[in-house]
Amino acid sequence: MDSKKPPAPPKRRSHAWFGKQDRDGFVHRSWLKNQGYPHDLLDGRPIIGICNTWSELTPCNGHFRELAEFVKRGVYEAGGFPLEFPVMSLGETQLRPTAMLFRNLASMDVEESIRGNPIDGVVLLMGCDKTTPSLLMGAASCDLPTIGLSGGPMLNGKFRGKDIGSGTGVWQMSEMVRAGEMTMDEFTAAESCMHRSKGSCMTMGTASTMASMVEALGMSLPENAAIPAADTRRNRLAQLTGRRIVEMVKEDLRMSKILTREAFENAIRTNAAIGGSTNAVIHLIAVAGRMGVKLDLDDWDKLGADVPCLVNLQPSGKFLMEDFYYAGGLPAVLTQITDKLHTGALTANGKTLGENIANIPCYNREVIKTPEEPFMASAGIAVVRGNLAPNGAVIKPSAASAHLLKHRGRAVVFETIEDFHARIDDPDLDIDENCVMVLKNCGPKGYPGMAEVGNMPLPPKVLQKGITDMVRISDARMSGTAYGTVVLHTSPEAAAGGPLALVRDGDMIELDVHARRLHLEVSDEELAVRRAQWQPPEAPKRGWYKLYVDHVQQAHLGADLDFLVGGSGAEVPRDSH
């Protein structure tokens, strides 16, 4: 008879809570049992935390209670014990002054909730724009086995026999109202037609972009990006995700093994191929900073600029996310750009990216094009620099007007968003379609939080000429559902004393996207005089606003708080008793 003892089961983090046969073990187990859990669930099973951003104030995530139940099924099936916990939910459509102000706060909530609780592995439930990066950032700073699950996009909007896209349709129709081409009654009737199912924006806005980034990074199971929220296959994916996280814990497959430099390079190239949101720039730089992976603004230009846009989706194109999924989804795009990807990169299902996308078919070439016949050539996010943006600014050429990518015009300056709203509809405003609209004090410190106000509506006197685009420059962001020749994320921002703060009405500005140039035609001597006269805006006095403004980094660094960059791991904290 073999006298050797079987190997002892691994001591996981949760063992420090539930594995003790003493007073403290009694406390941890007994109080949890008040929910009716039997003892064997606390006897060595992997404890899986389901990090849920459900909220009725976050419409994109309003179905997450149901989605979490399917994750739990999978966890139980694989021999784990799921415990759901809430974190701050960031609803893009309701939260003021901007959800971006609270992205870093939510990431702190995620990080400390994971580290402070008896969790061995984590499922991140995310959907609306900022919930995805905030959860990735917080979890990355802990570096436990982690897998992402997006909530999925809504079904296509339907209005008077046509498809309309969330966000994109709003911007289009609101301009039609302002131009006198659509009545307010018609505009109001479209509200319930645009958002007719659960889920996030069905355009390639920030929510769909970030869901695609999660999949391209390898942080989810394949097909995560595009399955509609209302499709039962989203629930199937949730159940499979629950099963997989238990195996990841057993394999000790941590985030740091997946989120490598190669994974981020894959994501940047994927963003170009799908015509993804400019917001991905800030979010991925911030996530990389938490993982200790070097990633900067120039990487976006160097790695993504020559990648063709293959996806014909709004706001750059015609179709919507439901069509994208039926055409093959993100795997069908990735298989078209394998020559540009690190196919050996490890993903959450334990396979390489190359294995996951091998021989994936495309079912609709109108929606997903080929590199030989792309939707747009070399349409990745471009980084422009110059004396107006020493640390860089970004523009999405695929959403811009080709004839404006090289432009010189007279600046019309708005000091704040309130100044813009007060003057833009004034028929006496001295502006025409050749001017450059400049908006200040909307960056990380200035708004605060860097709101999505960079895609400034055009003045009615221009719209009435049939003009639909002008060059716009700001230190703000814009919604991923928006479009136009819009220069964003100008760094340093105006509120931090960047050159943008010194622009005045009548200054000439040159934009040359091909040459990556953004230049203010004002002498250094004159700028020095203006700088001496400049006064910084009044800083917040208390609370999160003050902490944020005191510590937020500039856009080119990902707008994370300086003291949150990096991570602290997930060592078990000292006991609470």
DSSP per residue over 32-46, as a string?
HGGG---GGGGSSPP
CA neighbours within 13 Å on the CB side: how many for 308?
A: 18
CA neighbours within 13 Å on the CB side: how many for 501?
A: 22
Q: Which domains does the chain have, with CATH numbers?
A: 18-153+201-357 (3.40.50.2300), 158-191 (no CATH), 382-531+544-557 (3.50.30.80)
pTM of the model: 0.95
CA 502 to chain centre: 30
Which residues lie closer than 8 Å to 210 by C-beta, 6 or more apart?
126, 129, 132, 133, 150, 277, 279, 280, 283
The structure tokens listed for 500 are: 């943008």
The structure tokens listed for 507 are: 């200054």
* Alpha-carbon separation of residue 4 from 7, 44, 108, 301 (angstroms): 9, 21, 46, 59
CA distance 256 to 253: 8
Q: Which residues pair with 410 in a beta bridge?
A: 508
Please classify residue 180 by burial: count the beta carbons closer than 10 Å to its beta carbon, then call 0-12 exposed, 13-18 middle and 19+ buried.
exposed
CA distance 210 to 496: 28
CA neighbours within 13 Å on the CB side: how many for 571?
A: 4
Please classify residue 120 by burial: count the beta carbons closer than 10 Å to its beta carbon, then call 0-12 exposed, 13-18 middle and 19+ buried.
buried
pLDDT for residue 1 = 44
DSSP string, 413-453: EESSHHHHHHHTT-TT----TTSEEEE-S-STTTTTS--S-
Q: What is the pLDDT along the chain (577 residues), one digit of tens a residue?
A: 455 555 555 679 999 999 999 999 999 999 999 999 999 999 899 999 999 999 999 999 999 999 999 999 999 999 999 999 999 999 999 999 999 999 999 999 999 999 999 999 999 999 999 999 999 999 999 999 999 999 999 999 999 888 999 888 888 898 889 888 999 999 999 988 899 999 999 999 999 999 999 999 999 999 999 999 999 999 999 999 999 999 999 999 999 999 999 999 999 999 999 999 999 999 999 999 999 999 999 999 999 988 999 999 998 899 999 999 999 999 999 999 999 999 999 999 999 999 999 999 999 999 999 999 999 987 789 999 999 999 999 998 888 999 999 999 999 999 999 999 999 999 999 999 999 999 999 999 999 999 999 999 999 999 999 999 999 999 999 987 778 999 999 999 999 999 999 999 999 999 999 999 999 999 999 999 999 999 999 999 999 999 999 999 999 999 999 999 999 999 999 988 8
pLDDT for residue 75 = 98
The structure tokens listed for 301 are: 């230009």
Gyration radius of the chain over CA positions = 24
The structure tokens listed for 244 are: 């997989």
Q: Is the peptide bond before 315 cis (omega within 30 degrees of 0)?
A: yes
* Alpha-carbon separation of residue 87 from 101, 126, 296, 366 (angstroms): 16, 11, 29, 40
* Alpha-carbon separation of residue 189 from 183, 193, 198, 199 (angstroms): 10, 7, 19, 20
Q: Which of 302, 251, 217, 334 is nearest to 12 (CA)?
A: 251
pLDDT for residue 5 = 59
pLDDT for residue 492 = 98
pLDDT for residue 198 = 96
* Alpha-carbon separation of residue 49 from 8, 215, 242 (angstroms): 24, 20, 10
